[in-house]
Chains A and B, each alone.
Chain A
């Protein structure tokens, strides 16, 4: 399988995602520069990594969405290709309109870096099929603007379509308000688009994909992608 990791000026988790795909998963990976007009190879999955693209100036992800490569990314997504946006990548996906809603400042106004527990709310996506439904995983977050917001109608739609993929929870899997440290609507940590091929999540699965770092439960986001691609499944089939 071949992954593309998009590099925007200010991306800083690009090398981390690349490392996990290549060294941990043993898959092929290329860095793709944001100024590129086209993809120079055929990719199976595109990763928009975390970081501070364009310094997060104006709004997170707001300038990155106008990078030339984003036209290709949007085309790829529209054709059903798998796109994973992590942290700043999630912010870019919402700004670009590939995912609904927006990410705003954490409720206590501070950057937060820590381990959180996530409940897998939908394991029938290409990104989560190696998890069990309702499984609780420990995954770190590191963001200052990660509170997911959307209007009521959108939220209802997300719920109805099972588009909420990860929620902040307790270690026991309770999605209580106390574990909603950043003030997201409905404890939302990650959502998928309606077609089920574009996932955005604030937590960093690439940071917990190796035992030497204390926890490798995040790896299954990547193994899921590979399993799904190997199965040759496309959404709706």
Chain B
């Protein structure tokens, strides 16, 4: 069993109104030093795989095909055992 911790984020070139709204919220709470906020997605994918390499390949494939949209998003992930 492996667990992939997948982070999907908007590409830097894509406007993130949600991040802007969060930044404003933080400012109104007094966090005036906040420079920027970007909101992304976090997914946990549990999977069975022969070995770590196979798991890596599978998760890479998942990210490319479904979990992210390459037009607007970047992704990265960590893989943990168990």
Which residues of A are at the interface with B, using a C-beta cutoff of 8 A?
A: 58-59, 62-63, 66, 94-95, 100-102, 104-109, 147, 149-151, 183
In the complex, whether B15 has a CB less than 8 A from a CB of chain A is yes
The number of A-B residue pairs with CB atoms under 8 Å apart is 36
A150 nearest in chain B by CB position:
B71
- A62→B69 contact, CB < 8 A: yes
- A109→B21 contact, CB < 8 A: yes
Chain B contact residue count (CB 8 A cutoff): 12
- B66→A102 contact, CB < 8 A: no
**In whole angstroms, what is the CA distance A156 to B31 when docked?**
40
State whether A108 and B14 are in contact (beta carbons under 8 Å apart), knowing that A59-B69, A66-B66, A94-B71 are contacts in the complex. Answer: no
Question: Which residues of A sit under 8 angstroms from B66, Cβ to Cβ?
Answer: 58, 62-63, 66
Interface string of B61-82 (1 = CB under 8 A from A): 0000011010110000000000
Question: Which residues of B sit under 8 angstroms from A150, Cβ to Cβ?
Answer: 71
B67 nearest in chain A by CB position:
A58
9 contacting pairs across A/B (C-beta < 8 A)? A58-B66, A62-B69, A63-B66, A102-B71, A102-B72, A149-B14, A150-B71, A151-B13, A183-B15
In the complex, whether B58 has a CB less than 8 A from a CB of chain A is no
**In whole angstroms, what is the CA distance A68 to B72 when docked?**
25
Cross-interface CB contact of A108 among B15, B17, B69, B72, cutoff 8 Å? B17
- A109→B71 contact, CB < 8 A: no
A152 nearest in chain B by CB position:
B13
Cross-interface CB contact of A95 among B13, B17, B69, cutoff 8 Å? B69
Shortest Cβ distance from residue B18 to the other chain A in the assembled complex, whole angstroms? 6
B68 nearest in chain A by CB position:
A59
State whether A105 and B14 are in contact (beta carbons under 8 Å apart), knowing that A62-B69, A63-B66 are contacts in the complex. Answer: no
Question: Which residues of B sit under 8 angstroms from A100, Cβ to Cβ?
Answer: 71
- A107→B69 contact, CB < 8 A: no
Shortest Cβ distance from residue B30 to the other chain A in the assembled complex, whole angstroms? 23
- B17→A109 contact, CB < 8 A: yes
- B21→A102 contact, CB < 8 A: no
B65 nearest in chain A by CB position:
A66
Question: Which residues of A sit under 8 angstroms from B69, Cβ to Cβ?
Answer: 59, 62, 95, 102
- B14→A104 contact, CB < 8 A: yes
**In whole angstroms, what is the CA distance A91 to B21 when docked?**
24
A66 nearest in chain B by CB position:
B66
